Amino acid sequence: MSGIYLDHAATTPMLENAIAAMDAQLRTLGNPSSLHTQGRHTRKDVEDAREILAKELDCLASEIIFTASGTEANNTAIKGIYWQQKSLGKNVVVISSIEHHATLDPAAWLAEHEGAEVIHAPVTRDGVIDLEFLRKLVASRGSEIALISIMHANNETGAIQPIAEVVKIAGDIPVHTDAAQSFKKIPLSFKSLGVMALSISAHKIGGPLGIGVLVLRRGVEIPALLHGGGQEREIRSGTLNAPAIVALATAAQDKSYDADAIAKIRDDFAKRVTQVVPGSFVNAINANRLPGIVNVTFPGTQSDTLLLLMDGEKVSCSTGSACSAGVHRPSHVLMAMGHDEISAMSSLRFSFGRTSTQADCDGALDVLPSVITRGRAASGV
């Protein structure tokens, strides 16, 4: 499939060495929980992978809990920590207003079914959490807060969140962070961030789909979502997905992601897009951002139409959010940053990755002006 792929934040090509590692493991017989030779062999591969990941995440190997996705890691952490804290009489869940649905929705579920009060912390115009709000909230209601969950970097704008500051403000309050977008893109250390829990997802870094990790501080025991064999600290059950785990560890060790080079392409794109499409502007421009993400508003357009037109020009990008039936919705992230509905629905995310080239950037910019012209015409009817 040819074309220009600018949606690396959705998923990025799998690394060849990760594919090779997965392929080899798929050919290896053995359930890692079995006690015989084959089982022990697979168990060793899984535990090697766990140690590699612990090194990459700067955590203890025993702090790694394998899940089937980043979403599952978030659900396990948010619901589990909430239930544990609720038994201590705390029911306030603090999240940011720019979280991914994998955080927003478990929090909303807790409010609907488990008596949680969810507080959405506001962000600045540049999409960075309002620390002053958080400080005041913790000062006034700290004893009621069960957990704070704030993403490490935003998936739509790339804005990096000051998690270490959040942890400082939180004090004894458990903090979870969704690091699905930032892992391997910017430095990430579980230990230095000081959070209780952190989620990542393999397919965002060139690993396979269907595998995620919850890093949960040693000694913390939370109720499980999935009950069964108790494979992962009794917090997560299910036969360990050895091929995916091994491939994830391989991807995590890969050094080919050149953040500087990707940021250079991204910056060039961001600069020139506002030149070739007058009136357009980059969101979260003043924030410290991930190297690969740029979010642009094109006033007078509808981004689902733009996506159709870009797709027709063989350029793949993203509109932000859609409901389960696929209906385009205004981005809650951009709305939280002060956009109105119309403006939030006229924005596109372009995300660059390991395989992105300057030619991709140039090619996208070549077709954008005509796409925007047609998109504006269509939104007028």
Partner 1 sequence: MKLIAAMSGGVDSAVAAARAVEAGHDVIGVHLALSSNPQKYRSGARGCCTIEDSHDARRAADVIGIPFYIWDMAEEFHKGVVENFLSEYQSGRTPNPCLRCNEKIKFEAVLDRAKALGFDGVVTGHYAITKDSPTGKTLHRAADIDKDQSYVLAVLRTDQIEGAIFPLGDTVKTDTRKEAKERGLFVANKPDSHDICFVPSGDNAGWLRERLGSETGDIVDQAGKKLGEHKGAYTYTIGQRRGLALTVPDPTGEPRYVLKIEPKSNTVVVGSHDALAVSTISATPPTWCGPIPEINKTLRGFAQVRAHGAPLACDYKFDGTNLIANLDEPVFGLATGQALVIYDNDRVVGSGTICETI
Binding site for partner 1 (CB under 8 A): 304-305, 307-309, 311-312, 322-328, 374, 377-378, 380-381
Could you tell me the smallest distance in angstroms from the CB atom of residue 308 to partner 1?
A: 5
Could you tell me the smallest distance in angstroms from the CB atom of residue 120 to partner 1?
A: 21
Q: Which two tokens stand for residue 304?
A: 């689902």
Could you tell me the smallest distance in angstroms from the CB atom of residue 363 to partner 1?
A: 19
Residue with tokens 């955590």: 59
Rounded Cα–Cα distance for residues 151 and 280 (Å)? 27
Q: What is the SS3 string spanning 62-97?
A: HHEEEECCHHHHHHHHHHHHHHHHHCCCCCEEEEEC
For residue 63, the 8-state DSSP code is G
Rounded Cα–Cα distance for residues 78 and 171 (Å)? 18
Backbone angles phi, psi at 322, to 5 degrees: -145, 150
Complex with partner 1: residue 60 or 378, whichever CB lies closer:
378
**Is there a catalytic annotation at residue 323?**
yes
On whether the CB atoms of residues 212 and 72 are closer than 8 A, the answer is yes
Among residues 59, 317, 323, 361, the one annotated as catalytic is 323
Complex with partner 1: residue 161 or 347, whichever CB lies closer:
347
Complex with partner 1: residue 129 or 307, whichever CB lies closer:
307
Could you tell me the smallest distance in angstroms from the CB atom of residue 110 to partner 1?
A: 19
Look at residues 347, 351, 356, 251 and name the one whose alpha carbon lies nearest to residue 11.
351
Rounded Cα–Cα distance for residues 107 and 93 (Å)? 7
Complex with partner 1: residue 35 or 327, whichever CB lies closer:
327
Q: What is the largest CA-CA distance in the chain?
A: 68
Q: Which amino acid is at 155?
A: N
Could you tell me the smallest distance in angstroms from the CB atom of residue 3 to partner 1?
A: 12
Complex with partner 1: residue 264 or 374, whichever CB lies closer:
374
Q: Which amino acid is at 165?
A: E
Determine how β-strand 92-96 pairs with β-strand 117-121: parallel
Could you tell me the smallest distance in angstroms from the CB atom of residue 312 to partner 1?
A: 8
Residue with tokens 């599952």: 72
Complex with partner 1: residue 159 or 310, whichever CB lies closer:
310
Which residues are marked as active site?
323
